[in-house]
Amino acid sequence: MAVVLTTTPAPGALAQTDPAQNPSGGRDAIEEITVTGQKRGPQRVRDVPAAIQAIGGNTIDDMLATEFSDLAGMIPSLQFQDLGPGDKEYIIRGVNSSGTATVGVYYDEAVITARNKQDGGGRQADIELHDLARIEVLKGPQGTLYGASSMSGTIRFIPNEADPSAVDFNVEGEISTTDNGGTNYRTNGMLNLPIIKDKLAVRAVGWISDEAGYIDNVRLGLKDINSNNVEGGRVSVRWLPTDRLELSVAALIQNRDVGGSSRFSTSYQPAYLENLQAFGFDAPALGDLTNQDFTVNDWDESIELYSVKAQYDAGFGSFFATSNYFERDVTFRFDSTPVLLFFGAPAAALTRQPQKRELWSHELRFASSLDGPVNFVIGGFLSREDKDFDVEVVATNELGLPLGPFDITKDFFLDGPPNAAIFGRTKSDELDQEALFGEVTLEATNKLSLTFGGRYFNFDIVSSGLETKPFVGFNNETRAVDISSGSDTFQIKGNASYKVNDDHLVYFTAAEGFRVGGTNDAAINPTGVPVPEGFDPDSLWNYEIGWKGGFFDNRLVVNAAAFVILWDNIQVEGLDPSGAFPIITNAGEAEIDGIEFDVTIRPIAGLDLSFGGSWQDARITESQPLSDPLSPSFDPNAGLKGDQLPNVPDFQGFAAAQYERPLTSDLDGLVRIDISYRGSVDTQFRETSPFNVPLDSYTIVNLKAGITNDHWDLSVFAKNLFDKRAQVDAINSAQDPLSFVTVRPFTFGGHVAYRF
């Protein structure tokens, strides 16, 4: 499915469009966004025979969206799992499992896809959405052009380029208050400055966010623990030395400091309560938006992104080259007391996990622009990734802080306080990927186009790890492990599109998706029990038919698609034989059938209406190996044939309305409402699993009203208008108390913006 979300007209202007800019419609036609996701230069969304949803920068601003989760509910067939700021997983068309990421994520041309295996590529980087030209969501496998991590789709964040034609400046400020929390502040600004008129320009963007927490820790007596503070900026330089050559460089830095966990619990699980009482720990009363963690679980994160791009128009086509470096350092802490109680070790403790990830990605490609019926894209891709991961478990005091440093020569249980070390290990991964790719399009007639694509792909991963501090009672020697894995594959894609007329396009696509295998962290574990060292790649086929249409001089735009996905050798999460540590294995097959649609209407000048949704039936079609209760290694979470994929709703939808009209000769009024709905889901394959959590359906409503002119915007807003405790995600295992993650409670505030 593809969609054109309306881009709001320039502030102070009527909701009308110059017909010269909208050849498919009149003055009141819906503006159309151009996209570059097909790597063939700018194309109207309607002309692309693929499921692309484009959200323009003006719409992002109108929604007051600062992070992708603020607008994810407005994208049919896209779900996200949320464990707090900086820790999200994107799911497209129900392709959801543990293992490496199923959705590729790009910031401009830089690969920033996360690779957190335990939650299917979660822990995606939350780069704030300031000064973006658009967001492109490409649905269905994008392996031909974007590689292995795009087996179900790709999300691209496209920032505005430096503009050498004119000076541009804006600044924004926002203040709000959150129920059960406190006061929130935001400010951001942009300056675009030509250095040489029409040749050279620099653009600088900066942002600061200070969000109050709304979760209280009743055990430690701490309030509003999950505060979220972000500081960041981006600088880009663009040089046009000739009419054919364009060069640009950019640097982005963002730091995030989260005060504590966003999980909350309203009651104790019986087994966990028994453990607490058996070891003499109290169980303080729980309530709305509370948790009872024994420790202070803060999160510190820094992101650096550096990019270089060059493009040359040779007349018969365009040559493009890019090189990018992405670094993300994360240090976070979580309460590991429940794990110790599970093992019969009566101690309050936290786990500190410092992680560093460096990713170099490079691409060179050529897109033809020939006069004949055949055009093509061809290119090569190379990436190198280093990831370092440490685990340090230390005992804590009554304030939830470490008793002392992590000293591997001393043991908390054997040597006693103030010695704090309980367990430690370290692991390093090196992942190399290379690919050659291409797509060729044949204009068979003036209406019929055929596209064929392929990508040869190779990956190699080498992992090394060391158990630096054994867990007392299991073994008394540190152990090291070295693992290597690799594979190569060839992915293909076929597409046929038929342009009925200038307003209607139908297409059919068959495309293959693929993701890399990997190694199991639990191969380095304190139990000494052998576990599978690695897991294999998995793949899928997506078959899709779609339609894009415009009516009434493009005042009504309708897009729809139906798809069938066949998924094989799925990467799934299990436990090692001791039952203590998660691992990834390959098991089973799945089928996902779905329909998605969206509609955008401009019935009168100034009024924009849009709505859409998706239905999905995502189920496994082959029972997983450990699903038999008679098996010695029976896993109660393992799925049976017919079980639904976890965290995939049968239906989700959205609706939005924006009305703008003149109040005076130079002042407009604006009202906007956004509504998103997600159906109920289960967190495990099997409804009968003791670890399954049925998550209720929810509806979120946001409202905004304001005035605007050529230079000023002034508005008030309410987010989560009805203060819903949306059950976005849940955590439930033999080692964890049942916890939920929700959206920010009712938040009311004001927003002001100035443009020069």
199 and 210 in contact (C-beta within 8 Å)? no
> Rg of the chain's alpha carbons, rounded to an integer?
26
User: pLDDT category, 480, cuts 50, 70, 90?
Assistant: low
Best CA proximity match to 44, nearest among 136, 152, 147:
136
pLDDT in tens, 252-310: 999 999 999 999 999 888 888 888 988 889 999 999 999 999 999 999 999 999 999 99
Q: Are 360 and 384 in contact (CB under 8 A)?
A: yes
Tell me if the bond preceding 418 is cis, omega within 30° of 0: yes
Report the pLDDT value the prediction gives residue 9, as an integer from 0 to 100. 32
pLDDT digits (tens, 9 = 90+) for 622-636: 887 777 777 766 777
| pLDDT for position 147 | 82
Which pLDDT score, from 0 to 100, does residue 584 have?
80
Identify residue 712 by its one-letter amino acid code: W
pLDDT of residue 472: 79
Give the pLDDT mean for 389-397: 93
Q: What band does 206 get if pLDDT is binned at 50, 70 and 90?
A: very high
Q: What pLDDT does residue 6 have?
A: 31
Mean pLDDT, to the nearest integer, of 488-511? 93
pLDDT band at 575 (very low <50, low <70, confident <90, very high): low
Neighbours of 226 (CB within 10 A): 28
- pLDDT digits 0-9 by tens, 32-46: 788 888 888 888 888
pLDDT of residue 524: 59
pLDDT per position as a tens digit, 583-595: 787 878 999 999 9
pLDDT tens digits along 301-344:
999 999 999 999 999 999 999 999 999 999 989 999 998 888 88
Whole-number pLDDT of residue 477: 55
Mean pLDDT, residues 472-482: 62
Only one residue has tokens 């410092």, namely 354
SS3 58: helix
Which amino acid, 87? D
CA distance 626 to 671: 54
pTM of the model: 0.92
Chain-wide mean pLDDT for the chain?
88
In contact, 719 and 746? CB cutoff 8 Å? yes
Give me the phi and psi of 247, to 5 degrees please: -125, 140
Q: What is the pLDDT of residue 588?
A: 80
DSSP readout, 90-127? EEETT---SSS-SEEEEETTEE----BGGGTSB-----
Predicted confidence at residue 268, as pLDDT, reads 87
Q: What is the DSSP string of 399-427?
A: TSSBSS---TTS-HHHH-TT--EEEEEEE
pLDDT value for 571: 84
Q: What percent of the chain has pLDDT over 70?
A: 91
* The pLDDT of residue 5 is above 90: no
Q: Is the pLDDT of residue 121 over 60?
A: no
* Statement: residue 688 has pLDDT above 80: yes
What pLDDT does 31 receive? 80
Q: Which residues contact 64 (CB under 8 A, 6 or more apart)?
A: 70, 174, 704, 715, 717, 719, 751
**Helix or strand run (H / E) with residue 337:** helix 337-342
Percent of the chain with pLDDT strictly greater than 90: 63
Task: Please answer whether residues 267 and 283 qualify as being in contact, where contact means their C-beta atoms are separated by less than 8 angstroms.
Answer: no
pLDDT for residue 18: 31
- What per-residue confidence (pLDDT) applies to 10? 30
For residue 567, the model assigns a pLDDT of 94
- Examine the pLDDT at 80 and tell me if it is beyond 90: no
pLDDT score at 14:
26
Average pLDDT over residues 397-405: 92
Distance CA 597, CA 653 (A): 9
- Write down the pLDDT at residue 17: 31
Predicted confidence (pLDDT) at residue 353 exceeds the cutoff of 70: yes
Residue 398: DSSP 8-state: T
Q: What is the predicted pLDDT for the residue at 2?
A: 34
pLDDT at res. 166: 94
pLDDT of residue 32: 79
Q: With cut-offs at 50, 70 and 90, classify the pLDDT of residue 130.
A: very high
Report the C-alpha gap between 366 and 376 in whole angstroms: 8
> What pLDDT shows up at residue 25?
46
pLDDT tens column, 233-254: 999 999 999 999 999 999 999 9
Q: Which pLDDT value is given to residue 1?
A: 32
Output the pLDDT for position 583. Answer: 76
Domains located in the chain, CATH noted = 3-755 (2.40.170.20)
pLDDT for residue 4: 31
Mean pLDDT of 463-479: 73
Measure CA 157 to chain center. 11
- Rounded to an integer, the average pLDDT of 125-146 is 93
- pLDDT at residue 43, as a whole number: 86
Q: Residues 60-87: what's their mean pLDDT?
A: 88
Residue 21 has a CB neighbour count (10 Å cut-off) of: 10
User: 551 or 516, which is more confident?
Assistant: 551
pLDDT of residue 16: 28
Select from 476, 464, 357 the least CA-distant residue to 423. Answer: 476
pLDDT(48) > 70: yes
Cα 49–Cα 54–Cα 56 angle in degrees, nearest 5: 145
